[in-house]
Amino acid sequence: MKNESYKVVLLFNANNIYDRQILKGIGAFLKANNIHWNIYISETMRYDTNIRFNLDCDGIIANFDDPDIEDLLMRVDIPIIGVGTSYPDDLSYPKVPYVAADNYAIVETAFNHLCAKGINKFAFYSIPPNRYSRWAGVREKIFKQILTQKGYEGFIYQGMTTSLDNWQASLDKLSTWLRSLPVNTGIIAVNDARAHHILQACDRVGIKIPEELCLIGIDNEEVINDLSTVSLSTVKQGTEEMGFNAASLLQKQFSKGKVSKSPLLIAPKKIIARRSTDYRSVQDPYVIQAIHYIRDYACKGIKVEQVISEMQISRSNLEMRFKESLGKTIHSVIHEEKFNQAKYLLIESSLSIQAISEQCGYPSVQYFYFLFKKIYGMTPKEFRNKYVTS
């Protein structure tokens, strides 16, 4: 028998991966339970405050991080499930059943990832306070709290709310802040968009990531990563789980079940480690510069001789410095970088293995297969099948 078709309105601004993944989680719940809702969502996937909205429906799931949406629903007497950020006190939550991203766990996960890389100096790139970025203020306070608990001092920069008009000025100010940080500082950006600002500013003024500064974002926004010159490590939030739970709560309300008003906190899913936190505790300036050069050109077929030429010191001197700093030869670091890029493309892209082999500078796909299996005990295809997640 087909389920009763309730009219459900979804109020989200799905121009970002956070909202899109929540919507995906809602869909996953409906499919898993064979539930058929009559769903309305704006054709633009974005709630427009300038359009008069008819709330003639049976229930609503809405992103309460948007204060305009929260204001709209303040006096609506129909079942509403809110999703959004977590808060440090119960009074800050809306008076509806609420599924929240656990901000403390998110920031702590990013912090612990940097610590595991050997980082002991920390910074946070936030957003200027405004009613549309309350979540950023919460994360900034949590960063301060964690530093106090762990006994570290840190650096915080809120920067500017950017627009096309002030973009260059904002990059100038951000660059000044980045140059003021101690070498080997680990930076947590409040989201991937702000992390992208840092990558652009560092590229502009010649700060090497991750050799001089380490960087991790939050959200796993694929578009941002695609636009970045250095692949960005990030915290993948449990957004699909948030959507799944929000839909479950609304369906319980439809079924006259009791739904708790206590916020349901959803922890982040995992760290996606990419190049921006591939930090090695290296102090030797020649080795730092050489590693950065190798990362940029390993897949273009460079040999040890070209690294030597770039550093303008003797081969024996640089080899000795690599051995002391990394316990590796220059040759092995070049090959390691090529394989790191190959593994990244196998997991993160849909490129064919032939194309990946060519892009990473191997003379033939057969040779790539031979070396990959020799080192990792599986073929590139087997590696992709094992580690690629939907």
pLDDT > 90: percent of the chain: 66
Instruction: Give residue-wise pLDDT tens across range 109-147.
Output: 999 999 998 899 999 999 999 999 999 999 999 999 999
Q: pLDDT tier at 2 (50, 70, 90 boundaries)? A: very low
Instruction: Give residue-wise pLDDT tens across range 184-212.
Output: 899 999 999 999 999 999 999 999 899 88
Predicted confidence at residue 320, as pLDDT, reads 94
More confident residue, 5 or 267: 267
What's the full length of the chain, in residues? 390
Instruction: Give residue-wise pLDDT tens across range 310-327.
Output: 999 999 999 999 998 888
Q: Is the pLDDT of residue 376 over 70?
A: yes
Distances (CA, A) of 327 to 6, 226, 296, 342: 64, 33, 21, 23
Q: pLDDT tier at 49 (50, 70, 90 boundaries)? A: low
Predicted confidence at residue 113, as pLDDT, reads 95
Residue range 279-287: average pLDDT? 79
Q: What is the pTM of this model?
A: 0.80
Strand 270-272 relative to strand 233-236, pairing:
antiparallel
Q: pLDDT tier at 10 (50, 70, 90 boundaries)? A: very high
Q: pLDDT tier at 168 (50, 70, 90 boundaries)? A: very high
Token output for 295: 């990362």
Predicted confidence at residue 54, as pLDDT, reads 65
pLDDT > 70: percent of the chain: 96
Q: Is the pLDDT of residue 386 over 90?
A: no
| Alpha carbon 237 to chain centroid, angstroms | 8
The residues, any chain, with a CB within 8 Å of residue 146's CB and separated by 6 or more, are 107, 108, 111
Predicted confidence at residue 42, as pLDDT, reads 79
Predicted confidence at residue 258, as pLDDT, reads 80
Q: Is the pLDDT of residue 281 over 70?
A: no
Residue range 241-255: average pLDDT? 95
Predicted confidence at residue 1, as pLDDT, reads 33
Predicted confidence at residue 71, as pLDDT, reads 86
More confident residue, 249 or 226: 249
* Nearest by Cα to 118 from 271, 282, 364, 323: 282
Instruction: Give residue-wise pLDDT tens across range 342-373.
Output: 988 998 888 999 999 999 999 999 999 999 99
8 A C-beta contact, residue 39 and residue 5: no
8 A C-beta contact, residue 249 and residue 97: yes
8 A C-beta contact, residue 277 and residue 214: yes
8 A C-beta contact, residue 58 and residue 27: no
Q: pLDDT tier at 27 (50, 70, 90 boundaries)? A: very high
Give the single-character DSSP code of 112. H
